[in-house]
Structure 1
């Protein structure tokens, strides 16, 4: 039976997600170092459809969640009518801090036809507190995580959490040998007998990256939840104030985080990603956002050493995310984010020190913008 994957905000996840999700190579080199051809099929599996639902309007403002849910439901119902299986992917959270579609929408659709519809939570930002993560698993959703975003570990360390009922259901499914370019037998649980087709080798790079990420996570988890909540809220207030004070910045609206999971209030209900456009004056003196290429150029400039500042090495803002099309020009947002390491440092060194660094990073960004405009 053909498979349709439905995802909201695919442009605000990893660049290669749509290709990887549909069984295509997303780079010219695989995870295990093999030379492959980007955007070609991995093996000879069934063709997978991919449908992406936009989460922001053309001007970058968020679409109402009810509107996104309605579009996802329509695509799901159409796929059911055409005898397809469906995987609904909930992004929690996107690169600009949104959750879409609503988890309740995805679970409701799944519960109407559980034999045909599955749910996966793309939580690769890992901006989840334990109660939310546990609830997703308890409700039968797979959860994709990485240790490199909020957790601040090395890049390219990912994991998929699979609820026990799904694990029992799929563990004997034979994995295609073509996946050997990306994974080995040692990457899968021992009871997943279907992985026996893969080479029995260890991916030491992945193991070491996760060791580093888990070290960061352990330090973060050692801080009491109430203290984390307070730190995240206060640092967020500093960032919001600083963004509003710079005429060259236009913060993007980020909807209030509400997963509808009825879990205890924790830090993951607070905004931790702050996206903003870089602005210039047009010929008629109206503020307009910089185009994507110009924003990328400034982002790259900020990654070089900036002597004589509060930042010891470089200014590492979140990479530009294309999230608007204004007058035919692609516009991207920079992002300043609160991560686990900043929370740990705020708890040990003091919040004022971490806040000063955030302010310094935004000041450097404003100065880089001024140089380009002049």
Structure 2
């Protein structure tokens, strides 16, 4: 007899096995304005998450059909996840000795990374989270080994802020490092490096182990700290310092992942931001030297990860797991893998051409507007100081909006306009939700994602050329700038 979970509809399964972020609101969407149905809105919110493409849904449907028709769903699930890992390994150019853990979301990766570092001994841990205001909303709690939602992926109730593993959480202190000033300006690389360095030196001098986050593309495009600082810290302090690359946006060049792993750094990414799979899906890439020796730190993770989620080479960990299979996470990863594979099938020069066209259109259509302003939200990334980005031009732009009196719109007003752009008008646009870029400053984000690149590159059944499809895309961005200008002019910020 089939497990009852497999009898549920696909849309229900795709929103299962995570937390309340996937629960549909009265609007029919999750809190990010996306869902698990294919939409016609132009997908420009991949810096948060996107609704799935038809290709992703077809992949998930096929996987679910295979599971339902099997007399041994667990064996089929294991095979499907081998396929997911194979695509990640192939497309991201990972060596065979890299371990790949799959998680229900990027937030859950934080807990696993902490457990791997903290499981080696019983010392105190200082978790240095760089760009804390520009990474996942649940990052700080998860980085402290705490539950960040009232529901855990296994479906059980939890208490926000309570420990996933009592011993691990009690030993962990989180130190957030901002990458912006209070006014919202990006700090210089030297300033950020100095802050990170001081936090690490202080922690190690007090006998603590340190886990440092190197953010490789924040919600608005910031990379920090520099690779040079990381190299100096790890060389000087040896095993007292571990590093995890927060590449949750997945906006790194394929070669960058192995480059980081070769330096002994863990890397986490998602299949649901740039790569455009259904929300959410996380992965932790682990170099061979960080294979766990002490598994006590993993206690409590049974509510987050099942047997097949752990790397296939971690036999002892997997053998200690029960039969729980997270079908929702599996289907989301299968869907994401289809997007990853399709994106990298597009020739490099075509992907680059589309990214350049996106950049040009944003600069041309949004520059000089009175009520909609581009925010300096990315650095000119020096390939020697940072991991190489997926494109040489930015793929995420942050924009502030002003009301009819010229006052900046706050979070609530931007959320309302975000919703209007998403569901009203002849042309609909899904953008990245408002993000804080300073004290009382918020911005929406316009992001290029893999499914959109693939769609423009491959076209549909019409006879239009790539040049025509790119021109159409640029015109759509022009329409977006007009819509945003019109909406801002008709808005009056409360309290202004």
Both structures adopt the same fold (TM-score exceeding 0.5):
yes
Deviation per residue, 1:169-199 (Å, 9 max, x gap): x155245442222112221123321354432
Within 5 Å, give how 1:118-157 maps onto structure 2.
Answer: 118-157=242-281
Give me the whole-angstrom Cα distance separating, in 2, the residues matched to 1:122 and 1:165. Answer: 19
Assess if the C-alpha contact under 8 Å between 1:346 and 1:352 holds in 2.
no
C-alpha displacement of 1:147: 0.8
C-alpha displacement of 1:281: 5.6
Residue 52 (structure 1) aligned with residue 176 (structure 2):
yes
Specify which of 397, 403, 410 is matched with residue 280 of structure 1: 403
Q: What residue number does 1:19 align with?
A: 141
Deviation per residue, 1:261-315 (Å, 9 max, x gap): 698x774332111001112365xxxx432122221221122222323xxx3xx32
Q: What residue number does 1:355 align with?
A: 474
Higher relative contact order (CA 8 A, sep 6+): 2
> Which deviates the most, 121-130 or 246-255?
246-255
Instruction: Identify, as 1 or 2, the structure richer in strand.
Output: 1
Within 5 Å, give how 1:75-86 maps onto structure 2.
Answer: 75-86=199-210
Residue 289 (structure 1) aligned with residue 408 (structure 2):
yes
The change in CA–CA distance for 1:13 and 1:36 in structure 2 (over 3 A counts) is same
- Corresponding residue SS for 2:391: helix
Specify which of 227, 230, 238 is matched with residue 106 of structure 1: 230
The change in CA–CA distance for 1:302 and 1:85 in structure 2 (over 3 A counts) is same
The change in CA–CA distance for 1:267 and 1:3 in structure 2 (over 3 A counts) is closer
Assess if the C-alpha contact under 8 Å between 1:257 and 1:271 holds in 2.
no
Assess if the C-alpha contact under 8 Å between 1:171 and 1:191 holds in 2.
no
C-alpha displacement of 1:113: 1.4
Within 5 Å, give how 1:79-228 maps onto structure 2.
Answer: 79-167=203-291, 170=292, 173-192=295-314, 193-228=316-351
- Corresponding residue SS for 1:271: coil
Give me the whole-angstrom Cα distance separating, in 1, the residues matched to 2:349 and 2:279. Answer: 29
- Corresponding residue SS for 2:429: coil
Within 5 Å, give how 1:210-249 maps onto structure 2.
Answer: 210-249=333-372
Assess if the C-alpha contact under 8 Å between 1:273 and 1:338 holds in 2.
yes
Normalising by the residue count of structure 2, what TM-score does the alignment of the two structures yield?
0.69
- Corresponding residue SS for 2:257: helix
Give me the whole-angstrom Cα distance separating, in 2, the residues matched to 1:259 and 1:321. Answer: 27
Q: What residue number does 1:303 align with?
A: 422
Normalising by the residue count of structure 1, what TM-score does the alignment of the two structures yield?
0.90
Give me the whole-angstrom Cα distance separating, in 2, the residues matched to 1:266 and 1:178. Answer: 35
Assess if the C-alpha contact under 8 Å between 1:186 and 1:200 holds in 2.
no
- Corresponding residue SS for 2:457: helix
- Corresponding residue SS for 1:269: coil
Assess if the C-alpha contact under 8 Å between 2:252 and 2:389 holds in 1.
no
Give me the whole-angstrom Cα distance separating, in 2, the residues matched to 1:250 and 1:50. Answer: 34
How many corresponding residue pairs? 358
Assess if the C-alpha contact under 8 Å between 1:143 and 1:160 holds in 2.
yes
Assess if the C-alpha contact under 8 Å between 1:179 and 1:198 holds in 2.
no
Give me the whole-angstrom Cα distance separating, in 1, the residues matched to 2:184 and 2:317. Answer: 44
Specify which of 404, 412, 437 is matched with residue 323 of structure 1: 437
C-alpha displacement of 1:11: 1.2
Deviation per residue, 1:52-104 (Å, 9 max, x gap): 11111122211101100001001100011100000110111000110011222
Assess if the C-alpha contact under 8 Å between 1:92 and 1:123 holds in 2.
yes
